[in-house]
């Protein structure tokens, strides 16, 4: 084996990797927040909404969970222009990520909501709490406490899946790596460094999620 490892070309393009990493972080955080909001609304509709809303949410969840993310991404980026809606690559990537994680998180949040005992809800009504107060304090918070580990795992998987967005030239980390590799032809070095960056991002996100749990979600637990 006469291959000579040369990381110099990779580190010379470090600014491109940092820019791609920042976009990956930004896309992931926005998709996590918006996807969680979408999941809460869909889970609420599926557990206590009218039948048409339940059917619509069920169809959305099944369609997303049983199709590849790459196909969903192409539908958003290449399909929507047929209806007159043309999005740039980064916006299309964000929309596709929100739609994708929203479907998976819907089932997670739904399971958390259904784990809340009906007696607690009835107790809230007996105390004169408004429906919004009951949902926020008695249903939503305990539900999120229950499913938080599953949600965070799904969010980290979302961050890793953002690499697929390079297929539509979104300027995230993998796309930056592809550009560097096409110029330097140092495939192993480039993707070895990128693997390390994704690993570091996963560890950082895990630490942030653990800090959020300690600071907020463990309050009020027995």
Provide the CATH number for the domain around residue 107: 1.10.3720.10
Q: How is residue 136 annotated by DSSP?
A: I
**Long-range contact set of residues 142-145: C-beta below 8 Å, sequence gap at least 24:** 142/112, 142/115, 142/116, 143/109, 143/112, 143/113, 143/115, 143/116, 144/109, 144/112, 144/217, 145/112, 145/217, 145/218, 145/221
Number of domains forming the structure of the chain: 1
Q: How far apart are CA 108 and CA 103, in angstroms?
A: 9
Indicate the average pLDDT of the chain.
Answer: 90
Stretch 2-29: mean pLDDT: 89
CA angle 51–66–50, rounded 5-degree value? 10
Q: How far apart are CA 184 and CA 189, in angstroms?
A: 10
List Cα–Cα distances, 60 to 43, 108, 145, in angstroms: 12, 15, 25
Please state which of the ranges 79-93, 101-115, 131-145, 148-162 shows the lowest mean pLDDT.
131-145
| 220 pLDDT higher than 60 | no
| 47 pLDDT higher than 70 | yes
The predicted structure's pLDDT at residue 169: 84
| 159 pLDDT higher than 70 | yes
Backbone angles phi, psi at 169, to 5 degrees: 70, 25
| 221 pLDDT higher than 70 | no
In a domain, 96, yes or no: yes
Looking at per-residue confidence, does 28 or 119 come out higher? 28
The predicted structure's pLDDT at residue 128: 77
> Which is nearest to 197 in space by CA: 176, 218, 219?
176
Domain that holds residue 96: 13-217
Tell me the percentage of the chain whose pLDDT exceeds 70: 97
CA angle 24–26–28, rounded 5-degree value? 65
Stretch 36-48: mean pLDDT: 93
Binning the chain into helix, strand and coil, the percentages to the nearest 5 are: 85, 0, 15
Confidence of residue 115 (pLDDT cuts 50, 70, 90): confident
In a domain, 69, yes or no: yes
In a domain, 198, yes or no: yes
Q: How far apart are CA 84 and CA 96, in angstroms?
A: 17
In a domain, 170, yes or no: yes
In a domain, 17, yes or no: yes
| 222 pLDDT higher than 60 | no
Q: How far apart are CA 165 and CA 145, in angstroms?
A: 31
Stretch 174-185: mean pLDDT: 92
In a domain, 132, yes or no: yes
Looking at per-residue confidence, does 211 or 221 come out higher? 211
In a domain, 164, yes or no: yes
Confidence of residue 196 (pLDDT cuts 50, 70, 90): very high
| 67 pLDDT higher than 90 | yes
The predicted structure's pLDDT at residue 1: 59
Which segment, 8-17, 41-50, 199-208, is predicted with the most confidence on average? Answer: 199-208
The predicted structure's pLDDT at residue 122: 81
Is the Cα torsion angle 139, 142, 147, 148 positive or negative in sign? positive
Q: Count other C-beta atoms under 10 Å from residue 200's C-beta.
A: 11
In a domain, 8, yes or no: no
């Amino acid at each position: 084996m006469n291959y000579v490892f040369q990381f110099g070309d990779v580190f010379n393009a470090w600014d491109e990797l940092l820019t791609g990493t920042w976009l990956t972080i930004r896309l992931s955080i926005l998709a996590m927040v918006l996807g969680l909001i979408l999941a809460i609304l869909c889970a609420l509709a599926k557990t206590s909404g009218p039948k048409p809303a339940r059917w619509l949410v069920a169809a959305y969840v099944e369609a997303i969970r049983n199709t590849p993310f790459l196909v969903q991404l192409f539908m958003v980026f290449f399909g929507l222009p047929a209806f007159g809606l043309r999005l740039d690559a980064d916006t299309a990537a964000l929309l596709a990520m929100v739609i994708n994680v929203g479907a998976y998180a819907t089932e997670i949040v739904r399971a958390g909501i259904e784990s809340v005992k009906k007696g607690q809800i009835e107790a809230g009504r007996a105390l004169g709490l408004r429906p919004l107060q009951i949902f926020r304090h008695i249903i939503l918070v305990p539900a999120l406490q229950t499913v938080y580990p599953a949600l965070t795992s799904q969010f980290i998987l979302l961050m890793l899946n953002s690499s697929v967005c390079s297929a539509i030239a979104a300027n995230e980390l993998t796309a930056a790596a592809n550009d560097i590799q096409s110029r330097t032809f140092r495939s192993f070095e480039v993707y070895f460094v990128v693997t390390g960056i994704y690993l570091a991002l996963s560890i950082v996100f895990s630490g942030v999620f653990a800090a959020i749990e300690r600071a907020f979600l463990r309050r009020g637990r027995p």
